[in-house]
Structure 1
Amino acid sequence: MWTAGFSVTAFAQSAPEESSMVEFSAQAQSPSSPEMADAMRRDGKIYIVVAVLVSVLLGVLFYLINLDRKISKLERELRL
């Protein structure tokens, strides 16, 4: 999680006699208040998100294992 703040000073294009300087700064929110996660947990939707993520990761893992088996089988056939 990115928790560092940053500050950038930018100079606007203007006439030489006008000196305009704009400062942008952003502070990261404290990690103790993730509003979206709280709302999803409160509504019970966080479990759906977790279930979808686990399903996708298991699907990718199953695909990779299956692909590895097929490649190993092809490699054995080529050696013969």
Structure 2
Amino acid sequence: MHKWLLVLLLTWAASFSVPASAQNAAEEGSTIEYTSADKAASDPEMADVMRRDGKIYIVVAVLVSVLLGILFYLISLDRKIGKLERELRQ
């Protein structure tokens, strides 16, 4: 159980460290210029519509539910396998 918490904590920490380093690189003076066509192509209209309609929260809730379900399944599977390994050793 402890190793799962450690993996989860390290994954969570790694996901927050990458955007921070990318933001620091952008603040150090390296500027990127966009043309109007590039700017329009990089702005997803679907995300704006979903945010405006409030549906983005449903998408996030479904994704979190699926990921939590997978996590709980893996934890229970690890416990069952550990129990079988202990029975085999005896």
- Which TM bucket (shorter chain)? 0.5 to 0.7
Name the CA distance, whole Å, in 2 between partners of 1:65 and 1:37.
Answer: 33
Structure 2's unaligned 5+ residue stretches are 1-37
What is aligned with 1:29? Answer: 41
What is aligned with 1:40? Answer: 50
Structure 1's unaligned 5+ residue stretches are 1-26
User: 1:29 Cα shift?
Assistant: 1.7
Corresponding letter in the other structure for 1:79: R
Identify, as 1 or 2, the structure richer in helix: 2
Tell me which structure has the larger Cα radius of gyration.
1
Name the CA distance, whole Å, in 1 between partners of 2:89 and 2:44.
Answer: 56
1:63 to 2:47 alignment: no
Corresponding letter in the other structure for 2:46: M
What is aligned with 1:74? Answer: 84
Structure with higher RCO (Cα < 8 A, 6+ apart) = 2
Q: Considering only aligned residues, what root-mean-square deviation do their CA atoms show, in Å?
A: 1.5
**Percent identity (aligned):** 85
Name the CA distance, whole Å, in 2 between partners of 1:57 and 1:72.
Answer: 22
